[in-house]
Amino acid sequence: MCRAFPAICLFAAVTAFSHCSLQAECRETDTTCSPDFYLYLVWLEGIPTWMAAGNSDATAYSGDAGTTWTANTAGTAQSLNSIGADSRGRWVTVGLNNAVAYTTDRGSTWTTSSIAVGSSWNGITYDGVSGRWVAAGSQAGADRFAYSSDGGVSWTVGNMGTTQSMYGIAVDRAGRWVSVGGVGIDRCAFSTDVGASWTICSIGTGQTVNSIETDGNGRWVAVGNAGTAAYSTDGGVGWTAVNTGTGASMNDVATDGYRWVAVGNTDSVAYSTDGGVSWTATSTGVGQNLNSVATDGRRWIAVGVNDALVISMDGGVTWSSLSGGTGTGQQMTSLVFSRLPLF
C-alpha cells in the first residue's frame, strides 16, 4: 500500500508516532527503543541492508542485524575485492581480472559487465554528487581508475599518475575523490573534477596504504601495513601519520561520523574517538585475519578469512562471533551497509 499511497502512509506514520521523541542513540537493537519505534526508523531511513563480497565470486546479504545471511554468487567467476552501495538500492562489486557485477535486488540476481582493460580492481565507491561509481585498481603494477555513469553497465578508464597499485577509494559530500595504495611505500591521489585530473600526494607512513574513509565533512582517515594510519583535514593534501598500535596490516577502516574502527590481520582491531589522532588496539577473539568493517551507526560488523564474521555493539571495544558467518564458506573481502528506500 505504501508504494501506491506514500502520502497516506506518511500521514499515518507521523500520526501514529507523534507522541514519540526521536532519540539519537536509538538503533534497531537498543533496549530503550520499542519495536514500533524501530518501524518508525525504517520508515524514515529505509530498510537496513548489509552486503558482503569475497573470494570465489561469493556474495551475501543480510536484511536484519547481520545475524542471518543469504549467500549467492555474482556470476563473474572471479574473486571479488570490494563492494559499494548507492542510496537508491544498487550495489556494484569489483574484483580480479576486470570483474564487475551489479544488483538492484539485494543480491538475489546479479548482472555482470566488464571494465575493458586487463586490470584488477581493489576498491569501489559511489559519488552521490556526480552520480558516478568510481573504482581504483592496478594493471601490471601501475594505477588504474574507472568510473561509470550508468550504474556499472559501462566504464571509462584512466590513470591517476601514481605509478603504483591503488587499493582504496572514498568520496566526500563535495564530490572529492581520494584514493590510496602503494607497494611497500605510501601513495595517494585526489581529484576534484570527477577524475579529469589527479594530484599525487603522500600519506607519510612509509607503508602500503590499504583503505581510506571519510566522515563526509572534511576528515579522512587511512590505514595500512605495520599498524600504520594517517588522517587529513584538507581533502588529502596534507596528512599526519600515526600508528594504531596493533603492529598488524590494517585492511579497512569505517566511521559513524564520530568513532573510527579499523580491522586487520591476526584478528587486529583498533578504534579512535578523536578523528584518527589516537587509537586503542584490541582484538575480537575470532582468531582470523579481518578484511573489512562497516557500521549502521550503532552496530559494527567485520568480515574476514574463513568466512569469519564478528559484531560489536560498543564501537569496537568488545566483539561476538557469529557462527557460520555469511554462509558462503569463503574469505569475505568487503562489506558495506546501506538503507534501501521504501518507495
Q: Do 121 and 154 have their domain in common?
A: yes
CATH of the domain at 303: 2.130.10.10
**77 and 120 in one domain?**
yes
Within a domain: 206: yes
The verdict on 8 and 154 lying in the same domain is no
Question: Does 153 reside within a domain?
Answer: yes
> Does a structural domain hold residue 113?
yes
In this structure, are 84 and 177 located in the same domain?
yes
* Tens digits of residue pLDDT in 65-98: 899 999 999 999 999 999 999 989 999 999 999 9
97 and 156 share a domain? yes
Contact 206, 178 (CB under 8 A): no
Residues 255 and 327 in one domain: yes
Within this chain, do residues 72 and 179 fall inside the same structural domain, yes or no? yes
pLDDT at 343: 58
Q: 212 and 67 in one domain?
A: yes
Q: Decide if 204 is inside a domain.
A: yes
Structure confidence at residue 156 (pLDDT): 95
Tell me what pLDDT residue 290 has. 98
40 and 183 housed in the same domain? no
What's the pLDDT at 14? 36
Q: What range does the domain containing 4 cover?
A: 1-45
| pLDDT at site 40 | 46
pLDDT value of position 2? 40
Domain presence at residue 245? yes
pLDDT at site 110? 98
Query: In this predicted structure, what is the pLDDT of residue 60?
Result: 98
Position 302 in a domain: yes
Residue 341 lies in a domain: no
Query: Do 278 and 236 belong to one domain?
Result: yes
pLDDT attached to residue 45: 55
Q: Are residues 76 and 137 in the same domain?
A: yes
At residue 13, the pLDDT reads 39
pLDDT in tens, the chain (343 residues): 343 434 434 333 333 333 333 333 344 344 444 544 444 454 445 688 999 999 999 999 999 989 999 999 999 999 999 999 998 999 999 999 999 999 999 999 999 998 877 789 999 999 999 999 999 999 988 999 999 999 999 999 999 999 999 999 999 999 999 999 999 999 999 999 999 999 999 999 999 999 999 999 899 999 999 999 999 999 999 999 999 999 999 999 999 999 999 999 999 999 999 999 999 999 999 999 999 999 999 999 999 999 999 999 999 999 999 999 999 999 999 999 998 766 5
Into how many domains does the chain fold?
2
- Tell me what pLDDT residue 48 has: 87
Residue 343 inside a domain? The answer is no
